[in-house]
Structure 1
Amino acid sequence: MSALDPGLIGTLYRAACLAELEALKPGNVHAYAAGHRMVVADFVTSADVSAPELARAGAGIGERVRAGVAATLAAVGQNTNLGILLLCAPLAAAAEQGRSVAAVLVALEAADSEAVFAAIRLANPGGLGRAERHDVTSDAPPSLRAAMAEAAGRDRIARAYDTGFSDIAAIGLPALAEARAAGLDPTWCTTAIHLAYLRSVPDSHIARKAGPSVAEAVRREVDTMLANLNLADRPVDTLLALDASLKARALNPGTSADFTVATVFWDALTAAGAALA
């Protein structure tokens, strides 16, 4: 497997973050519309300051996440990218080491668990709630993967650590390939990725804030809408109407957006020579 230069990894990560912001992602923050008391500039700054930490040579996965969150909070004063960092840190480490994502997940250490738990406490994401075991307010467990496996049923990002990022392979990358085959430009390909996650699985961020039944209702709503929608027609008005509706209901599919960044990042790393699968 080819090992990539950390500088290139940081460049590709930042580009993936910016590509996600440029795409129309209903319910989330994007270049077409702000929302949820956040604006695109916050996320651009977050990408700028977290990229060096995410791609720091030789850093552990947990430290990449913790340092990225700390840099982001110092720059923008709020959590804009915890989910992105949790998903992208293993990809960055795998690309730098010339290993698969599965291999770096197996090699997670207690230090990674401590750093990730510290990052989550720093970011203080909304709707996190309390857990009977491995609660983030308690000491970090020795095994980060065990903690993620326990949370996998209620959090899609935790599930990624338990399944070797199967959602990217099963949902994100096929959606990207289909969009490219249809001749969509890169920005609309990114929109296609976001919509694929939205229609395929209930969004964890919506579920945490509004409940699982609401998340499933949004998934069905998007799936029904997409049955009659052709992204090749650039349906900006239709998607902006959905965007406004979700924001009016205070529903932010942030997990779908995080997976969109990770999918674009995975694709870019692969194109550069990494063998992540």
Structure 2
Amino acid sequence: MGEADVPSFPPRRIEAAFLKACRAEIAAIKPGNVHIHAAGHGMDAATFERAALACAPVIADPSLSVGARILQATRLSFSAAGCNANLGIVLLAAPLAKAAQGVSEPRLDALRDGLRDVLATLSPDDAADAFAAIAHASPGGLGARADHDVREVPTIGLLEAMALAAETDRIARQFVSGFEDIFEIGLPACRIEPKSLFDHPDLGPAFKVYLSFAGGFADSHIIRKFGASTAETTRKRFADFVARITHLGDAESVRTAALAFDRDLKAEGLNPGTSADLTVATLFARFMLRSAT
């Protein structure tokens, strides 16, 4: 194979980008969510490191379908972490990785177009595998449906199943919107200044992306566990926090304020877990594109 024939996104680069995204997200202070600066909700940073290491090779395996990646990665992650540490991340990362492996040029528009193609061609087997993965992980707040419950053999495709949940579940919404939140909210947030926050090791792009999601919409994880009203109140608290830190003079003051907000949310059991999952997916796309250039 000549140099011109080397794929833009070989498996080793996809695996490396996935691990880098997981580690960058866990290294940043994310109020309410687990990070290296504070554990929470019965988990710590090591839990997520084990989960990421276990499933990274499967996420990057070009021989696997989207559904097979989701199911195998979820099983390996659950076994390594002893809990559901990253189901949402896996659900988002599997189609992103599959899409990257189908494009010839490492461009954002090519990745987005490739992702639309992947989502449009999801098979009934993908649905069966994804249903099995969700049932295996049994995420917090997962209820039962009268029809198309994930604990039953699906009779509809994965995209159709996600459409049923898209109104209240932000992960499901990505499947029917072409990962709109990643491309329209997450990736643009990576470019927002000031540079002092962007470069701070405890804040950085992951901090800014996370806040853009947590302050932009009611978090699905909080909706499932506490209801829509609490989720919307939490979103407003994040929006207020973002407005407040814009007036702080330096990154260290932002760091102090973020840790205080983090303690408050964790004391109340509030975890914007979906916002964290979307943050990893955003960083995964960003790092894949950067590693291929």
Give the shorter-chain TM-score range: over 0.9
- Structure 2 partner of 1:247: 266
Which one of 129, 132, 137 corresponds to residue 146 of structure 2? 132
* CA deviation map 1:142-180 (0-9, x unaligned): 310000001001100000001000011221111111147
Q: CA deviation at 1:132?
A: 2.8
| Contact 2:197–2:204 (8 Å) recurs in 1 | no
> What CA distance in whole angstroms lies between the structure 1 residues aligned with 2:209 and 2:174?
17
> What CA distance in whole angstroms lies between the structure 1 residues aligned with 2:115 and 2:237?
33
Confirm whether residue 37 of structure 1 aligns to residue 42 of structure 2: yes
Which one of 56, 75, 80 corresponds to residue 61 of structure 2? 56
> What CA distance in whole angstroms lies between the structure 2 residues aligned with 1:243 and 1:182?
21
- Structure 2 partner of 1:27: 32
Amino acid at match of 2:137: A
**Greater C-alpha Rg:** 2
Amino acid at match of 1:266: A
Q: CA deviation at 1:56?
A: 1.1
| Contact 1:109–1:142 (8 Å) recurs in 2 | no
> What CA distance in whole angstroms lies between the structure 2 residues aligned with 1:245 and 1:265?
29
Structure 1 runs (4+) greater than 4 angstroms displaced:
180-183
> What CA distance in whole angstroms lies between the structure 2 residues aligned with 1:81 and 1:142?
25
Q: CA deviation at 1:190?
A: 1.0
| Contact 1:180–1:189 (8 Å) recurs in 2 | no
Q: CA deviation at 1:75?
A: 1.2
Which one of 111, 117, 126 corresponds to residue 125 of structure 2? 111
The gaps in structure 1 that reach 5 residues or longer are none
The gaps in structure 2 that reach 5 residues or longer are 1-6, 104-110
When residues 183 and 250 of structure 1 are mapped into structure 2, their CA distance, relative to the original with a 3 A threshold, is closer
User: What SS does structure 1 have at the residue aligned with 2:238?
Assistant: helix
- Structure 2 partner of 1:4: 9
> What CA distance in whole angstroms lies between the structure 2 residues aligned with 1:216 and 1:137?
29
Instruction: Report which stretch shifted further, 56-65 or 15-24.
Output: 56-65
Amino acid at match of 1:219: R
Instruction: Report which stretch shifted further, 181-190 or 2-11.
Output: 181-190
Confirm whether residue 168 of structure 1 aligns to residue 173 of structure 2: no
Q: CA deviation at 1:183?
A: 6.6
> What CA distance in whole angstroms lies between the structure 2 residues aligned with 1:112 and 1:180?
42
| Contact 1:20–1:261 (8 Å) recurs in 2 | yes
Q: CA deviation at 1:181?
A: 5.9
> How many aligned residue pairs are there?
273
When residues 181 and 153 of structure 1 are mapped into structure 2, their CA distance, relative to the original with a 3 A threshold, is same
| Contact 1:141–1:147 (8 Å) recurs in 2 | no
TM-score (norm 1): 0.94
> What CA distance in whole angstroms lies between the structure 1 residues aligned with 2:197 and 2:280?
20
Amino acid at match of 1:174: P
Amino acid at match of 1:153: E
- Structure 1 partner of 2:219: 203
> What CA distance in whole angstroms lies between the structure 2 residues aligned with 1:114 and 1:188?
38
> What CA distance in whole angstroms lies between the structure 2 residues aligned with 1:181 and 1:134?
47
| Contact 1:202–1:218 (8 Å) recurs in 2 | yes
User: What SS does structure 2 have at the residue aligned with 1:8?
Assistant: helix
Confirm whether residue 225 of structure 1 aligns to residue 241 of structure 2: yes
* CA deviation map 1:175-228 (0-9, x unaligned): 111147677216422100001101101100001000011010011111112112
Instruction: Report which stretch shifted further, 181-190 or 208-217.
Output: 181-190
> What CA distance in whole angstroms lies between the structure 1 residues aligned with 2:193 and 2:206?
9
* CA deviation map 1:12-44 (0-9, x unaligned): 101100010000000000011000000100101
User: What SS does structure 1 have at the residue aligned with 2:198?
Assistant: coil
